Amino acid sequence: MVIQTKEMRYLQDHFRTYYTNNQVILPPRFESREWGFFLFGSNVWKRHVKFETPEDVGDFLKKVAPLHSYHSTAYYEDSGLQPMADKVKGWEGADLIFDLDADHLRNAETMTINQQLDNVKDMVRKLIYEFLLDDFGFKPSDINLAFSGNRGYHIHVRRPSVIDLDTHQRQEIVDYITGTGLDDEMVLPKEYSSATTFKGKVSSVDYTRNMPGFDATGWGKRIRKGYGDLLESVPMGTQEDCISYLKQLKQEYVIQGYGEKTIEKTAELLAGTSKGRSNIDVMKETGDLLSPDKKVSSFLIALTVKHSSIHMAGETDEPVTKDTKRMIRLMGSLHGKTALRVTPLTLEELEEFDPLKHAVVFPADEVEVEIVKEFKLDMMDQTFDLTEGVQKIPEYLACYLLGRRVAKLTK
């Protein structure tokens, strides 16, 4: 048992009031799912909980007011059975889950929380519209979307055809989305233009590689668009600026096998002109890689593939998607680190959704707290630039900061 601070007691009282006056959103077949909770004042994971009725869930939340609330993505014959090994024998399938979080963003540490949330939303749109709806052919009705309550989103796919997928099949989905193992020569085939022979055998072959056309589909379409987006992102400055940017991308995308010389040649190409037009403009318009240097062309292709994929290299997403026994946050519950609501959303609602406004559940009554770490945040259409010391702030912000452990109560 952990000694509970007055800050945690304050939060738990607020959580209890919330659960007394609000209903959570139960997942389909909730009685066949395992439930798990982290409780205030405890560092023990309370798992293998089973509920028979919606009233049982509501009564538990009102009485216990947990710090974090989860249910399994899986369905079981007996969801309360333990140990886990025995329960797995009665596994009946699992939802397909994607968990996109700010931890997955490249350079997340350089962004504000608001910027992280905006960038994660862009990644969610890309995953849903380009991959799930377009490439995989899911329908909007197959997709259940929720803000995670912290810095990301959960996507639940509950179409019957995915319920029985095993871990390896789910990993194949992740690999497709991330471009892992993508054979770029299938998407950008080599076009051979000349060859020389010696004693009847081909001794050398020249070839070119261009981006797919705008009418391409699947990864071809994605790479064609990504090529334009990549070129658009290149700074229109000196060759040195371009070199610096390419080095940054190479590091962010973890691209191996290209040295300083290739980067310098690529920067020279991108910073150059052709017949009075910038090479970048020509390349965007034609899809041409322009460079006769095969290493430069290969480097541009590698950058484009990474730029076109969804990054899931964080500690959560890949295991969540391939895990057939994962626990996921209960929609409508409160996140213990932010006091924000795990908010269900339609695809239309996602466009205008502002987590730091629409997931806020507590009032604006003033609360006196001591800020123990400088903190800046845009919340409820206000900018809070907080310095260390005693201040009065809205209750919803106080709960958020108490959960993040950057504020203390003064009373």
Tell me the catalytic residues: 99, 101, 317
Scanning the structure block, which residue is given the tokens 């799912």? 33
Contact 242, 270 (CB under 8 A): yes
**Distance separating alpha carbons of residues 292 and 207, to the nearest angstrom:** 9
Q: Burial of 43 by CB count in 10 Å (0-12 exposed, 13-18 middle, 19+ buried)?
A: exposed
**Distance separating alpha carbons of residues 107 and 116, to the nearest angstrom:** 10
| Strand ranges for 256-400 from DSSP E | 273-274, 277-278, 327-329, 343-345, 366-371, 375-379, 382-386, 389-394
Contact 151, 111 (CB under 8 A): no
Type of residue numbered 380 = M
**Distance separating alpha carbons of residues 37 and 44, to the nearest angstrom:** 9
- Beta 96-101 vs 375-379: how paired, if at all? unpaired
